[in-house]
Amino acid sequence: MSYAFRALIPRVLAAVGLLLLAAAPVRAQLEVAPPPESVSFLSRYDFIMSAAALGYDDERFSWDTHWAGNFDVVDYRRGRITLLGDLQGILGGEFRPFDPYQSNYLLEASGSLRWKHVETVLVLNHISRHLGDRFKRIAVAENSLGVRALSRFALSSSTSLDLRADVRKVIAVAYVDYETMTEVDLTLRQRFNDHVGLFVRGYGEGISVDREVAGRNYQYGGRTEVGMRLTGDKAMVDLFAGFEKMIDADPLDRVARRWAFFGFRLRNR
């Protein structure tokens, strides 16, 4: 058994402990929402917390955590205006247990139009990345503007497929070499009853870059995830595992990293 998978075992146990002890949110992402019966103010919100143990042979990368939320400011039935925020913490064990190696912030504003089975969204996205307890004077950030398509397909009374696709132009950068960003996210869900279901998720990301900045080519990453959803009266929890290739996992070294993971995601209903 490799070191990475041996190291994953105690983190899996710790993740279960966190699930039982924590009361706090994967990246909050805008999902399909049916229109209300009339124009509504603050008609929907999602708050999410998650933690995933990483099977990776680098003591800076042990946990991927998120505290996130999004809400519809107004839903005008033909579409909605939404604000979204996400704080990602990458934790390691370099200096101490649960060492906060990175803090990454995502802020997003969007407005949409619903057309039959597709919701088309105009998105303004900001991401900034920071090192915790380490010196980093330069800014690492990007702003991007683009479009998103959201749709949900009912394959049967208990099976559904969610689709999200993004194409965004990077309009402002600090340090990074990104030019355009493309994302596709598919989630297949099978519900067994009101409380238990399974899901399979596939996520792919591609980034075109300015070769004059760092001399590298087109970047791609992705994530596969399988899990179980348990639904209660007021909240839902996903227990999941999978594999990921994360583009520029460290904000400064421009290296993609691959790891297995196991974790949970808790959100309101």
d(CA 179, CA 222): 18
3-state secondary structure of 7: helix
Q: Which of 2, 3, 5 is nearest to 241 (CA)?
A: 5
Residues in the chain: 269
- Which pLDDT score is estimated for 14? 42
Most distant CA atoms of the chain, gap in Å: 57
- Which pLDDT score is estimated for 173? 95
d(CA 56, CA 90): 13
Name residues whose C-beta falls within 8 Å of residue 130's C-beta, 6 or more positions apart in sequence. 102, 103, 104, 105, 136, 140, 251
Let me know: does 30 contact 68? Beta carbons within 8 Å. no
Domain borders along the chain are 3-268
pLDDT in tens, the chain (269 residues): 454 444 444 444 443 333 333 333 344 566 788 888 899 999 999 999 999 999 999 999 999 999 999 999 999 999 999 999 999 999 999 888 889 999 999 999 999 999 988 999 999 999 999 998 888 889 999 999 999 999 999 999 999 999 999 999 999 999 999 999 999 999 999 999 999 999 999 999 999 999 999 999 999 999 999 999 999 999 999 999 999 999 999 999 999 999 999 999 999 98
Q: For 125-225, where are the alpha helices, taking DSSP H only?
A: 211-214
Secondary-structure class of domain 3-268 per CATH: mainly beta
d(CA 70, CA 18): 23
d(CA 90, CA 62): 7
